[in-house]
Structure 1
């Protein structure tokens, strides 16, 4: 048995490992202490997503107090008209005050009440 090539194999493998180490060091670089800190990606502060309620509050802040009061009074009047018209079964009053889907729901309920001869009193 000839073991004379064992030393040559070890030397060749050490040279290959050294070559790979030097290439990696050149590609990846060295730490000098002046590197910028990347920081954690999770350290960023999350911004709160605006909800519809928040957007409505932002929109309300644009109006002065008189406009807000007028809006609230108008909403009260419209609400009262809707309730009274629904109780009396007056679809012609409900139509301009409600959206299409909601008007359809109200109209279906009025028709259902009329079919069953139910009366609503205020």
Structure 2
């Protein structure tokens, strides 16, 4: 009985060996097909030539929701030049409106915190009895220095270089200060914000 078992195992081993040879030991037509060899070569070449993905500092900022590239990706119609032209005009108009005490106009261009700050400045001036009779303000240079998007709200920081002169008089009409002929030069950063899903295309002054 023991010898019979050995014979059976030997036959099975031989049979499996033949099947294994037929399956793995011979080349099939598919393996030898020229197009298959070409495919394998091309796949190998692509693997060798493919460069690793590199995230630059610029790309890294975009991935974090920062940078103008990121803003352009989610808002393709954003035009940096047009924005700055509008920001320059807004800067001059806001300064003039603040000096004139035009709170209604300021309310349409400022976020609440900035408006309250400007309103306090206007009130303090009125308490002192001072009146700004004339204002000259001109932006000479502007540049977007930072861009962030958070909760679908874009925040753009703009650096303004500008010249400004004012004529301030006291309640009795005496001149407190007058530098309209020789404008002073200043630089300041303002942050504008806008909800990207808003139908209103206008940006508001978010922070100074």
Report the TM-score when normalising by structure 2.
Answer: 0.31
| Structure in which a larger fraction of residues adopt helix | 1
Please tell me whether Structure 1 or Structure 2 has the larger radius of gyration of its CA atoms. 1
| Structure in which a larger fraction of residues adopt strand | 2
Report the TM-score when normalising by structure 1.
Answer: 0.50
